[in-house]
Amino acid sequence: MQRLAILGSTGSIGRQTLDVVRAFPDRFEATTLTAASNWELLVRQAAEFRPDSVVIARRELYGRVAEALEGLDVKVYAGEEAIEQVVRGEAVDTVVNALVGYAGLAPTLSAVEAGRKLALANKESLVVAGELVMRRAMERGAPIIPVDSEHSAIFQSLVGERSPIEKLILTASGGPFLRASAEDMARATIDDALRHPRWSMGARITVDSATMLNKGFEVIEARWLFGVEARRIEVVVHPQSIVHSLVEFADSALKAQLGTPDMHLPIQYALTFPDRLPIAGEKFSFVDHPSLTFERPDLERFPLLEVAYDVLARGGNAACILNAAGETAVEAFLAGRISFPRITEVITEVLARATFIPNPTVDDYRQSNSEAKNIAGQLSGFTSAF
């Protein structure tokens, strides 16, 4: 029995993780569930899965959760710090970090410090502080298994290999604006940006896919997860999202993992590795989909992809600034405060203005995150509700 702490259980990845638990009740047990504000769903999940504990991050909702779970043997905690605490709990084998944004970093560090196995969906942990997270994981012997589909594909392709990686090729669907003109993108509404052609995901990552900042984040994520220099990481647009990413070796061999896009697979694999268990659903058929295409990304319409490479070259807290600026700019866009192209402008401006720190500590990351969010907030006339 593998006991899971599922951080962000009410989100897109969190709910799909609970599907996996539901499918294999004799293998997985959800011992901790956490949510930011969707307390009703958290309560329903707790009633179904009977975890040891739940955490509601928004403190003001504590009373409602506690009242609704009265009579069930479930401990209720509130606040973001409580998430850091529960992942260290004795009753946890694996932490599934499905939080979105900077908020995922502290629980990632906490899980790694405690030596827990970490199934990591929260790519922002690695974008903000990848070097630190990987170093601590190595020191503590804590395995980190990627949930992001591209990184899971690479991870799967590396099983059994001991030769160095020559190149990583990350595939990108190109998002909803792959074929849109710059003028179309300037007029894009919130709904347009949220209409992803291949994946149904949380709002932030969906908008990040529309700017392709998400792919930039994934380059940074891959750099740290697999210890591969940025110059060896390439992005290729593959609109069908069947080839989930590739590894090239010295002998020119390419290995990839393919399949119908469905996050249940990378989530489940992160939990069962090195084993595989069945998943219901559509199997991919080459003859039904004979056309798999690949093209270079258009950096003129998607400049944030290149910004991610610049940020890696700068090092220090630059990627932390990028993430924070992106978090606030996307929030401002989703609140109707700024236009779609303004997201890119705000991010670029914050990167130019925020304090650069060459060798940041955890505290520096915290301050840098706040500073960059403040600047982004000023630039977009927006203050985060959180």
The residues binding Mg ion (CB under 5 A) are 148-150
For the record, the structure tokens of 111 come out as 């899980």
Contact 311, 319 (CB under 8 A): yes
**Residue 12 binding target from Mg ion, ligand NAD, none, CB below 5 to 8 Å by type:** ligand NAD
Question: Per rule CB under 6 A, is residue 193 in the interface with ligand NAD?
Answer: no
Nearer to Mg ion, 110 or 149 (CB): 149
Q: Which of 24, 199, 249, 273: binder of ligand NAD (CB under 6 A)?
A: 199
User: In the window 77-136, what residues touch ligand NAD (CB under 6 A)?
Assistant: 80, 98-101, 103, 121-124
- Please report, for residues 5, 48, 227, the alpha-carbon distance to residue 219 in angstroms, rounded to integers and kept in the order given: 27, 38, 11
Nearer to Mg ion, 17 or 149 (CB): 149
Please identify, among the stretches 4-12, 177-185, 268-276, 352-360, the one whose residues bind ligand NAD according to the rule CB under 6 A. 4-12
* Interatomic CA distance for residues 59 and 36, integer angstroms: 9
Question: Per rule CB under 6 A, is residue 10 in the interface with ligand NAD?
Answer: yes
**Residue 10 binding target from Mg ion, ligand NAD, none, CB below 5 to 8 Å by type:** ligand NAD
* Interatomic CA distance for residues 99 and 37, integer angstroms: 12
C-alpha of 344 from chain center: 20
Question: Which residue type does 85 have?
Answer: Q
* Interatomic CA distance for residues 320 and 356, integer angstroms: 10
| One character per residue 143-162, x = contact with ligand NAD (rule: CB under 6 A) | -----x--------------
**Residue 383 binding target from ligand NAD, Mg ion, none, CB below 5 to 8 Å by type:** none
Say which residue the tokens 């949380």 belong to.
202
Please identify, among the stretches 165-173, 177-185, 199-207, 303-311, the one whose residues bind ligand NAD according to the rule CB under 6 A. 199-207
Closest Cα to residue 130, out of 307, 8, 312?
A: 312
Q: Classify burial at 354, counting beta carbons within 10 Å of its beta carbon; exposed 0-12, middle 13-18, buried 19 or more.
A: buried
For the record, the structure tokens of 6 come out as 């599922």
Q: Classify burial at 23, counting beta carbons within 10 Å of its beta carbon; exposed 0-12, middle 13-18, buried 19 or more.
A: middle
| One character per residue 251-290, x = contact with ligand NAD (rule: CB under 6 A) | ------------x---------------------------
Question: Per rule CB under 6 A, is residue 6 in the interface with ligand NAD?
Answer: no
Q: Which of 134, 201, 305, 379: binder of ligand NAD (CB under 6 A)?
A: 201
In the complex, residue closest to ligand NAD by CB: 11
The nearest distance, CB 181 to ligand NAD, in angstroms, is 27
Sheet arrangement for strand 75-78: 75-78, 53-56, 28-35, 2-7, 94-97, 117-120, 144-146
* Interatomic CA distance for residues 45 and 149, integer angstroms: 25
DSSP-assigned states of every residue in 197-235: SS----HHHHHHHHHTHHHHHHHHHHHHHTT--GGGEEE
Closest Cα to residue 326, out of 313, 345, 310, 299?
A: 345
The nearest distance, CB 106 to ligand NAD, in angstroms, is 9
Question: Which residue type does 288 have?
Answer: D
For the record, the structure tokens of 171 come out as 């595939």
The nearest distance, CB 358 to ligand NAD, in angstroms, is 26
**Residue 248 binding target from Mg ion, ligand NAD, none, CB below 5 to 8 Å by type:** none
Question: Per rule CB under 6 A, is residue 205 in the interface with ligand NAD?
Answer: yes
**Residue 122 binding target from ligand NAD, Mg ion, none, CB below 5 to 8 Å by type:** ligand NAD
Q: Which of 35, 118, 153, 330: binder of ligand NAD (CB under 6 A)?
A: 35
The nearest distance, CB 35 to ligand NAD, in angstroms, is 4
DSSP 297: -
**Residue 36 binding target from Mg ion, ligand NAD, none, CB below 5 to 8 Å by type:** ligand NAD
Binding site for ligand NAD (CB under 6 A): 8-14, 35-36, 38, 57, 80, 98-101, 103, 121-124, 148, 199, 201-202, 205, 263, 386
